[in-house]
Chain A
Amino acid sequence: MQSETEAQVASPRDVEAAGVEIDGVDVSYGAVQALRGLTLRVAPGEIVAVVGPSGCGKSTLLELVCGLVEPDTGRVRAGAAALMPQRDALLPWLSAVDNAGLALRVAGASRAQARAAAQEHFAAFGLAGFERSRPAALSGGMRQRVAFLRTLLAGRPVLCLDEPFGALDALTRLQMQRWLAGALEREPRTVLLVTHDVEEAVLLADRVALLSPRPGRIVELLDVDVPRPRARDARAIVELRERALEVLGAP
Chain B
Amino acid sequence: MIAALALLALLCGWEALVGFGGVDPLLLPAPTQVLEALWEDRSLLAPDLWATTYEVVLGLAAAVAAGAVLAIAMHLSPVLRRALRPLVIGSQAVPVPVIAPLVILVLGFGLAPKVLLVALVCFFPITINLYDGLRGADADARRLLRSLQASRWQALRLVEAPAALPAAFTGLKVAAAVAVIGAVFAEWAGAERGLGHALLTANGQLETARAFAATLLLFLLAIALYGACALLERRVVDWTPRTGHGGP
What is A's interface to B at a CB cutoff of 8 Å?
63, 66-68, 81-83, 85-87, 89, 91-93, 102-103, 105-107, 134, 136, 154, 160
Contacts and interface: CB of A to CB of B under 8 A. Distances in A.
B158 A89 contact: no
Interface size on B, as a range, is: 20 to 34
B144 A83 contact: yes
Contact of A91 (B150, B162, B237): B162
A82 B147 contact: yes
Contacts of B148: 82, 102-103, 106-107, 154
A134 B237 CA distance: 13
Given A63-B143, A66-B147, A89-B144, 7 more contacts: A83-B144, A85-B143, A89-B143, A91-B141, A91-B158, A106-B154, A160-B147
A47 to B, nearest CB: 19
Contacts of A107: 148
A89 B148 CA distance: 13
Q: Which 4 residue pairs across A and B have the least CB separation, nearest first?
A: A89-B140, A83-B147, A85-B140, A66-B147
Contacts of B241: 136
Contact of B143 (A68, A82, A93, A105): A68
Interface in B152-194: 154, 158-159, 162-163, 165
Q: Of A85, A87, A136, which is in contact with the most chain B CB atoms at under 10 Å from its CB?
A: A85
B235 interface: no
A89 B144 CA distance: 8
Contact of A68 (B146, B158, B159): B146
Contacts of A154: 148
